[in-house]
Amino acid sequence: MGWNSWNTFGCKVDERLIRQMADAMVASGMKEAGYEYINIDDCWHGGRDADGFIQADPKAFPSGMKALADYVHGKGLKLGIYSDAGNTTCAGRPGSRGHEYQDALTYARWGIDYVKYDWCDTKGLDPASAYTTMRDAIHRAGRPMLFSICEWGDNKPWEWAKDVGHAWRTTGDIYPCWNCEHSHGSWSSLGVLPILDKQARLRQYAGPGHWNDMDMLEVGNGMSEDEDRAHFSLWAMLASPLIAGNDLRTMSEATRRILTHRDMIAIHQDALGIQAMKWLDEGDIEVYVKPLERGEYALLLLNRGDLARDHRVDWSFHEMKDDLSGRSIDFGRERFAWRDIWSGGTGNTATAFATSIPAHGVVVLRLSPR
């Protein structure tokens, strides 16, 4: 859980901004809610010195990265940084190709805690080998760093990256819209639903310490409140990293409430680390279920459509069986109490559950054995 500069600021990053975001993460209650990483994305780079060691841009980061890391650590937070497996980053700054061990050592000396590693300008490279090289370099540097593989899912990293990185991107970049594709010519950014749909059949690869990454959050970046709530809930249910991408200094109270929603974060942070599965598909209405500790479950009802929908779950009609977790429910024999995570409503599975789901919205229940 953390924050990243790219979605809102792109290349317009400097040390003043990063310090302000660390301050805002504490003041907003996000740190208390579990967020810990302040991540600088592309464009922090200066050149390399005569020995090949990367330098921070002296104009944007005049105090240096070590001083910035010390400031962030002083807030009880961690600092992340960005590089690329190729010769240049996606914004044309120096990449790490041929300098992996130097860069990892530099990051360790600066006090970096998180490395996002991109995949631009990588002609001729094998992704598994390139990411393994940087993994080994980080290990050699001697400082624990979360290693985030940003390869966009093009080479199925879920099949080879479990022992390489802590998380791997499963799609291209996100865009702040519900159901759209935003073309950039040779590639496209995707909205919430297209990214969600690309997660089919990937849950078997995720678990504690190795996560499917659906890209950073767009909460507070222009979608409706219902869409933001659904976006946040889906990412939490599917155990994707929760990396905010908005301006923490100026976010609305509605955005702050979504990002710091303790009950939804508790579902995301459940120690079992099981990614939710799509349990029921009824066209515009989909139901996802996530097994939790102590025999509990989280249940999310998604309305993909453009109109609000009344929906009824007749518990006794459905049986839930999850081969991945080995968990199952026969609602005809077992009873659960439920609590609506967002509205606070309560009830139990002895009677059918009837609700209205907003357009582009969700209802999330937490089920506890009775």
What are the residue numbers of the active site? 118, 173
The structure tokens 């044309």 sit at: 92
Residue ranges in the chain assigned as alpha helix (H): 6-9, 15-27, 30-33, 65-74, 100-110, 127-141, 192-197, 225-237, 253-259, 262-268
Residue 153 structure tokens: 């899912």
Give the span between the Cα atoms of 313 and 229, in whole angstroms: 21
Question: What are 347's two structure tokens?
Answer: 């009830």
Residue 113 has a CB neighbour count (10 Å cut-off) of 23
Spell out the SS3 assignment of 185-210.
Answer: CCCEEECHHHHHHCCCCCHHHCECCE
Q: How far apart are CA 352 and CA 330, in angstroms?
A: 14
Amino acid of residue 41: D
> Which two structure tokens, joined as six digits, stand for 355?
């609700």
Cα distances (Å, whole numbers) of residue 330 to 7, 198, 278, 322 = 43, 29, 17, 12
Question: Does residue 152 contact residue 169 with C-beta atoms inside 8 Å?
Answer: yes
Q: Which of 342, 341, 318, 344 is nearest to 331 (CA)?
A: 318
Bridge partner residues of 212 (DSSP): 168
Which residues in 43-180 belong to E strands, given as ranges?
A: 45-48, 54-56, 78-84, 114-118, 146-149, 167-169
**Could you please report the per-residue DSSP string of 335-367?**
-EEEEETTT--EEETTS-EEEEE-TTEEEEEEE
Whether 340 contacts 364, CB under 8 Å: yes
Give which of 79, 147, 148 is closest to 109, Cα–Cα: 79
